Structure formats: structure tokens, C-alpha cells
Structure 1
């Protein structure tokens, strides 16, 4: 009998052949009517959604934002993920493209410097129903179908509450001081730098962090990039969690009520409680996906997408991202 390949072997084979890319279904309201942005590519003479290949060291979310800007001149923040397309390239490799919904604000459109070029011949805003007829490829139709479901469900406009685990810190056995004073390792500092772009891709404007040094150091590069101060609180610290004085509910409740994109940086043991509080605050039935979203490695984060118009309607989507360093 021929031995079957292991799951790891299958994954390795897929990874070796796959080309990864990311993009977005960019949308806007024109006279209260939804329009989708399509690109007409010069070389291929086709009509598709803005997307492009991942650059070395990039995480998918920042690829999507960068490619939308490079192809259209429009700066966007990512909303809900709307699917993954897979297809074969002429080289026989698989291309795997991750997509998000992304609203183009009036200001972003005004500031676009797009002009037709050797890659993109034209941009076209079309109503959702007409977009399907314009698109050249069936894989784009599948992404648009998922996007249309969000529209039908009335949950297209969202905001994220992001649960972030601090980056790699010195082990307790390597530190003689108070646990809350443990700093990041060199790898941890690299992780903190590497997640700035992905977190900014989701439009983060508010930073709330445990007052432990390892958490404060994790969000410091993001705060510098945004030119904003982080809010430090013992209410979501591991020390408070261990002695029963934490107050996750008040911190998370405030973030949900604000309706503003925010990142909340805390500790591995505390994260399940943070995700649980987000679920409770939004009337979401908790399941294994909530627990999975809390099981993060150092420097990783889960993006919880909530409805802007009705946060109490439940979690719309959860996605998890891990640093590459």
C-alpha cells in the first residue's frame, strides 16, 4: 500500500507552491447608494478587484491596504474579511488571495492621486449589482457574493476591537525583579515593530494597555507611529487578574460603546476573559471560535469586528494574525 502523506507534508507542499496576495472590496455611498470600485488592468485587459502580492516580511492585512493605495491612490482601513480566492497561475502555482471590505471615505477619494498607468488603465465605481457583470473572473464573483451578504444583513460598516497579546518578554526565570517590570526580549521588540503596519491597516486610533512593562513596550512603536498616547491601566493586567482585582468588563464595555477602532494589549491568561467580555457586551453566543481567538502566541492579535450601527447585534467576524518574526 502506498503511504499517505502526513498533514504536515500536505501543508508544506501547498506552501511551496502557493503565491499569497491580498486585496479589498472597496466601497462607498453615492447618494445613499452603494458603489464598488473596480480596476481595469492595462496588461491583461480585464476588470477585477484591487489586490497584489505580499512583499517580504509583510502580513496580509498591510498588503491589502498597501495594494489598494498603490493601484487606486485611495487610502483605506480594513473592515470585515470577505473571503479567500484560490486559482492556478500559468506557472501551475496556486495563488491565494485574501480580501476584506474597505470603505473609501470622501476625503480619501479626494486625496487620491491616481492617473492611468502601465498597470491600471482606469478605475470604475459601479453599483453592486452591476459589479458582478463587469468582473472578469468567477473567483471575484465569489468574493462579491460574500460581500453582498454583509450588505443584505446590514452589517457592512463595522469597527474593530483588537485583542493583542504582548510580544515576547524575558522569562520569569531570567528576571529578578517584579513580574510586572519584565521587559521585552530583542525578538519581542522586533515583533512590536512588525505589527505596527497590520494594526494600522485596521484603522486603530485608540490604544489601551496593561500597565505591565512588557505590554507598554509592545504598543510603544504603534503609539509613536500614530502620534498618540496609550492608555495604561492595571484593570487588564496579569497581576490584577491573578489577585482578583481586574475589571475587564468596564474596559471592554467602554471600547464597545465608543464604536471606535481600538487595540487592547494584555497577557495570555487574561485574553480569554477579554474575548469573553467582548462577546457578552455584544450579545454574542460564545463558541469555540471565541476561545480560539484568545489562544494567541506572543505578539499575535485577534481582530473582532462589530457593527457600527448596532454593536449589540453580535460579533460579525473574528480573524487572528501572528507576527512573522
Structure 2
């Protein structure tokens, strides 16, 4: 990220009303304009976390993020660029019923409109471009997606500083902070299942997420570094099960194993292997890649991959 740019995040929030697609627009009080829900990144936040928070604050609707639909860039005064990341985000019936939105000093109104009306009503061309990117997902029949999140464990005690078995190496203080910091961003993608290597550093990395979700992670040697080095890993069975379930999940593993995990996702979904697949597995400690797959036809290939690096 550039130090001079202002970063923000938002979403094209959508729902089906009588089987007709509608997207959410907001009417801002101060600016008297019509735009998409978005807002600036708070200190310490990751972009996905910002998008979910801002949609909730501006519309009262709690969403989870689907596939990314683009980045808008425009200049602010004085000579500062604003960079806004957007995702598709479905508003479920339960989320709509739970919304407590009322007109306020910031948002005068919200409305659900067709894509055709959205293109006409939006006040800014950069917002129209994002809606056009969203429309391409609709046209391609891949609006309904689910994520498989490939996570590298947080910073662990180095091998040179550890006398015990490698699998028992714990996280450092930095690693523990990373584990807490990634919990909200992972939840932004609706993660409900947790699969982790049985190594201590991986188990500790997903512990804060387990606590927040109230769910127990499935620990397995099949995606551990030890099994990888012994040539006894079984990545294929783990990935196959996750794809068949079509449920949002996170898989926590190790640097040497992650490229094979992403490659297996590509192979299992009939995706052509390219450099973007390799880069998605090359993560820093505490980083993760979100692989978006079609919920209606996972065999149609990877819809998109996005990578999030740790801020700690």
C-alpha cells in the first residue's frame, strides 16, 4: 500500500427479490449523491474487514464477502489518491430482517434497484465501472460462490531456537498477535469450517478463530509439514472433501505445503495452472489467500484468487 493514498473498501450488496436480482444503493445526506456502500480503513484493519464493517454501519446489513469485483481509484484534494476495494456480497433474508437501518445524518436512504437502474442512478462513473464488473459475474453464472481460504500459520519460534520436535514449535508473541488480527478478516468471508495441520504453530494460529466461531478445528497430519517432508501428506483427500461440501472453510498449513494446496484446488476444479496459482501459495507468515469457487458448479474452475498479507 502507498503511504500517500487513502484506502477504503466496500461492496456491491445484492439479493434476489421474486427471483429478480437487485443491488443496494445508498443516498448520502451530506454529499447529496447516490453511491455504493464503502468507507475508509480504520487503523489496524485489513480491507475485507473494512468492507463488512462499512456495509453494516451504513446500511445496517451484516454481510459476508463473495468474489472481488474491482478496485476504483480517483483523486482527492489535495493531490491524494483514494483506492477503494470492492466485493460482491449477498444480503440474506435473515440479514435484511435483522437490519436496524433508519435515515440518519450520514445516509438519507437506501434502495434496492436493478442493475439497469443502478447504472443510471449512481452519481460517479467509477461506481458504474464496479457495477459493470459485478454484472460480468452475473452474466457468467458465477455470482453464487464459496471461499476456500489457504492460511499460513503465524510467526513461530525459529528452528535454531527450539530444542524439541519441529511440530511442537509454538508461536512467538508476534505470531499470537497475528492470529488475533486475522480473525475478523477471515470471518468477513463467512468462514465456518476450520481445518488445520496438527503442528502447534498452526493450532495456535486458528485458536482465536475457533473461539469467535464457537467451533472446533479439525486437526490433521494430512496437511502438516512433517507429512509433506516424509511424503505421507494427503492433500487431495482434504481438498476434495472441502470442495464437495461447498462450505466456506479455512485451511491452515505451512509455507512449503501451501503451493501444493492451492495447486490441488486448481486441479480439482479444472482450472488451468498459471502464475497466479503459484503466487497465491507464496505467503508470508500470518498471510492468507482466498480462493473463490462457484457454489453451483465448483468444477467450473477458480472464479478468482485474492491474497491478504499480514499487517503485523
- 1:168-204 Cα offsets, whole Å, 9 max, x none, are 0000000000000000000000000000010000000
- Name the counterpart of 1:277: 264
TM-score by length of 1: 0.95
- Name the counterpart of 2:191: 204
Aligned to 1:105, which of 84, 92, 112?
92
- Name the counterpart of 2:161: 174
- Name the counterpart of 2:138: 151
- Name the counterpart of 1:94: 81
Between the aligned partners of 2:77 and 2:30, the Cα distance in structure 1 is 15
Superposed counterparts of 1:135-146, under 5 Å: 135-146=122-133
- 1:60-93 Cα offsets, whole Å, 9 max, x none, are 0000000000000000000000000000113321
Between the aligned partners of 1:120 and 1:238, the Cα distance in structure 2 is 50
Deviation at 1:16? 3.1
Between the aligned partners of 2:303 and 2:159, the Cα distance in structure 1 is 38
Aligned to 2:31, which of 44, 51, 56?
44
Between the aligned partners of 1:323 and 1:287, the Cα distance in structure 2 is 24
Deviation at 1:322? 1.2
Partner SS, residue 44 of structure 1: coil
Unaligned runs of at least 5 residues, structure 1: 1-10
What is the aligned residue count?
Answer: 312
Deviation at 1:17? 2.2
- Name the counterpart of 1:286: 273
Partner SS, residue 142 of structure 2: coil
- Name the counterpart of 1:8: none
- 1:247-279 Cα offsets, whole Å, 9 max, x none, are 000000000110000000000000111001100
Unaligned runs of at least 5 residues, structure 2: none
Following TM superposition, the consecutive aligned residue runs of length 4 or more in structure 1 with deviations greater than 3 angstroms are: none
- Name the counterpart of 1:117: 104
Aligned to 1:301, which of 275, 279, 288?
288
- Name the counterpart of 2:59: 72
- 1:106-129 Cα offsets, whole Å, 9 max, x none, are 000000000000000000000111
Between the aligned partners of 1:279 and 1:109, the Cα distance in structure 2 is 35
- Name the counterpart of 2:310: 323
Between the aligned partners of 2:238 and 2:74, the Cα distance in structure 1 is 43
Pairing 1:228–2:218 present: no
| Bigger mean CA deviation after superposition, 89-98 or 149-158 | 89-98
Pairing 1:239–2:226 present: yes
Pairing 1:34–2:21 present: yes
- 1:219-250 Cα offsets, whole Å, 9 max, x none, are 00000011100000000000001111110000
CA RMSD of aligned residues (A): 0.7
Pairing 1:56–2:53 present: no
Between the aligned partners of 1:90 and 1:170, the Cα distance in structure 2 is 46
